[in-house]
Amino acid sequence: MLRLADPGATSLLLDASAQADTLEIWLSLAAAHLQAGNRPAARAALARLLAQHVLPADTRIVARLATRACQDSDIHSWCGVARSPDGASLHWIAGCDGATASLDGKMLRGPKLPERDGTLSVQHDGSALLGSPISLAHLRRVEGFVQSSDDGGLEGWAWLPADAETHPWLSVTAPNTKIMLRVQASDGTITAPRPLTRPRRFTIAATELAALPGLLRVFGEDGRPLAGSPLDPAELTRAAALAAPAALKGAAAAAVACADRPVAVVIPAYRDHDKTMACLNSVFAAEPSPHIIVIDDASPEPDLAAALQALAAAGRITLIRHSRNQGFPASANAGLRAALALKPPHDALLLNSDTLVPTQRGASWLTRLRAAVHGAPDIGTATPLSNDATILSYPHRDSANQVPNQREVSRIDAVAARANAGRVADIPTAVGFCMYVRHECAIDTGLFHPSLFAQGYGEENDFCIRARHLGWRHVAVPGVFVGHSSGASFGAMRSPLIARNLAVLERLHPGYHALIAEYQGAIPAHDALAPARRRMDMLRWTAGKRKAAVLLVTHASGGGVERVVRKRVAEIIAADMRPVVLRPVLDPQSEGGSVPGLCRVDDSADGMGFPNLVFDLRSERPALARLLRADRPVVLEVHHRLGHHTAITDLAALLAVPTEFHLHDYACFCPRITLLNPERRYCGEPTEIARCEACVADAGSRIEEKIGIGALRARSALAFAGAQRVVVPSADMATRIRRHFPMVRAQIAPHEADPARLPPPPLASQTMRVCVIGAIGVEKGFDILLACAHDAAARALPLEFVLVGHSTDDQRLFATGRVVVTGRYQEADGPALVRAQAAHLAFLPSLWPETWGFTLGLAWRAGLRAAVFDVGAMAARVRATGHGMVLPLGLPAAGINQALLNSRNGIPAEVKNVMF
């Protein structure tokens, strides 16, 4: 794109720079800015490159770009850091003579940099050069990961993010020994933990570790431990041998309720001053104020360390300070030991420093958690709901929730307390962001295993499984809600740590994955907390009533139907009414299928507001009707029944409202929906039911319901007869519906206005470029597009295609050498994206009788005339406007390509015969 001077290159590179900090991205971004004539932006990109990356051996391209960027500015030249020719050391360089360098204010006498951190400043005549100052600590930072290998050794990867071509050296040490083992990560690159990174693998055999027994620390030349360190390769084998399930025993059987037992809140702290202080302030504000133990795990942030020291001096917290970072499990253990040693005996609550606890009046969050744990003698831990707590997340269990502020945390907690007061639900393990631990359970089970779980992830799961073997239960407390910002501590190391520690858990506790999978495998509407979540959603729903409501029944498959429903939602809200959208619940175990009988209720276009308002239409229609009746519905609009139970339309009678059918395809009379036969062509709509039954038997049904074609059409006819109206988007569809249902006089309501005139077309390239738009599957003409691309390649035609969107098999299209695929796009970005392709014409190869065709309108808004097949509403719209040409349905690929090429000389309204 840079070579083509494409203005889109800059925005793409800016997006990439937000995802990864690499020399290549900043170099390309600087070039793009210079190409656009934006020298200040180019200098900013180069400053980032020079200050945060070791320069390549050949600095000429950097020098050329920096020289151009510094023109017409007060900056004399540039500077940077490079490797010595032997790669052993770093040295500073400058793009001008007479430059001087200092490290932490002390002048340097030569180019070689000492082997220590510091801030490098390079100047000329008292002015800083572009790139100065430079942090040597950043240039030397090692990023890596280590785990135990199957043979008792170590394996992992490491790299220098600021110096990706250099193979980093690592050191391995153990307590109570001066022996240090050195290893270089140089065994070739591995699958990167994130895009645009280049880690190298290293392995250390068990025999090489014989002189280093016990807990091993693996660190880079920057002195920082790798993620996964410290660890003891032999500990996993020992622990696994001791972790076999024992007979139920321990304190669980003898424990008694202690509703007024004091509790100590344990908060390990490492990074992020603002989040940690917000967490502590929320705990201070809650009543009654508990004993608070904070562990400063050698925080690298001086302001955080000072703030914690001040709180300790004021007597507000008990502070435990580590001289060296030990990781979350070790820090948690230090706090838990201190809590369990308090007199009288205290329970402990382990709380992440990135949480916010509720502070509203009434029974405090801590009191409610304590009541849950002491509600039965065998409950060992209790965990509240949160916005980010895996199986305990609310409102969405399986997708991201917005991080709430303090006020929102208290508001959601009030809803939880009202909806679920006194309730608990058994769960396989607690979730460690906020885990209340009964004193007896902690004493009985023992603490976490830092030597197995290093920085963290999974240590609380191991604790809980061990506790289960001793007879302790773990419960969720849906009457409490705690906010959580989630795993920011480990950044890119989060995923490797999780993968490693999950493997450790399975080895320690065979069957662990199956236990969790059984719980997580249940769809949210069926898991143990579904009733609690639904009660909370119902309370929130009833707080949002409007003067009236419109019910919209639709599927959950996106596409044009979803676009129409979103528009209707906006119209209903604008009329100060409540849109109530009824969708089926998708089954995660079935590709595109729905869970039988379930219906989800929401009042937003994206369906994200009330994910737990799920009702089983087979048994809960009265309950659903009661919920909807309170919103005073005035009409039930049926946009699509795909995935719904047949009882969905019974709601109209239960609510005494009229029904309207808004048709978007032909599911009302054809289970194939799009009228394509087994040969993947338009069937011609035969009137004989036997032929249609044979077609469906051969090609399959697209609707989930098992119903014969005769019964389907009879049911549709009955529903249409009782409807207030039937609405279709085009005259073409109205004609087809009337053919199968003669009594129906459908009202035509176009989805959008077709333009009388088109905007100027984009400036096209020399080669004939044809733009295909949308999600191209079989119905949308995938086979046709593939055949056209193969024909263009075989005959060396001056013709290429660009698919703005995606297809069912992008790789097959790429392989032709004649198709470029841009990928999925947002609706609002469509016109600009189509224009950016500099195409001559749009080709929309849909094979079925489209009822409207939003991609046609998109092509026209982008200034492109369109070629379509002679079937359905798109052909009628092209004829009516003259904005394109109509191709015979069934025209072979060679004929299509010739018609597309001929269009450069003028676009005919109708293509009858094409010579080729």
Spell out the SS3 assignment of 767-798. Answer: CEEEEEEEEECCCCCHHHHHHHHHHHHHCCCC
Q: Residue 773: what pLDDT?
A: 97
- 259 by Cβ neighbours in 10 Å (0-12 / 13-18 / 19+) ranks as exposed
Residue found under tokens 């733009």? 771
With a cut of 50, list the residues of the chain below it in pLDDT: 1-7, 246-248, 488, 914-916
Q: Residue 491: what pLDDT?
A: 58
Q: Residue 915: what pLDDT?
A: 38
Q: Which amino acid is at 644?
A: H
Which tokens go with 575? 């009329």
Q: What count of other Cβ atoms lies within 10 Å of the Cβ of residue 165?
A: 13
Determine the Cα–Cα distance for residues 133 and 126; give it in Å rounded to an integer: 13
Determine the Cα–Cα distance for residues 752 and 522; give it in Å rounded to an integer: 41
Q: What count of other Cβ atoms lies within 10 Å of the Cβ of residue 378?
A: 17
**Is the bond into 750 cis (omega within 30 degrees of 0)?**
no
- 564 by Cβ neighbours in 10 Å (0-12 / 13-18 / 19+) ranks as buried
Threshold 0.75, pTM exceeds: yes
Determine the Cα–Cα distance for residues 727 and 716; give it in Å rounded to an integer: 14
Determine the Cα–Cα distance for residues 347 and 374; give it in Å rounded to an integer: 10
Q: Residue 798: what pLDDT?
A: 94
Tens of pLDDT along 122-159? 999 889 999 999 999 999 999 888 888 877 889 888 98
Q: Residue 7: what pLDDT?
A: 47
Strand segments (E) across 777-899: 799-807, 819-821, 841-844, 866-869, 884-887
State whether residue 689 is helix, strand or coil.
helix
Q: Residue 234: what pLDDT?
A: 78
DSSP secondary structure letter of residue 827: G
Which tokens go with 357? 């606890």
Nearest residue to 662 (alpha-carbon basis) of 549, 552, 779, 548: 552
Nearest residue to 148 (alpha-carbon basis) of 106, 223, 69, 209: 209
For the chain, report the end-to-end CA distance as a whole number of angstroms: 35
Q: Residue 120: what pLDDT?
A: 94
Q: Which amino acid is at 153?
A: G
Q: Residue 147: what pLDDT?
A: 86
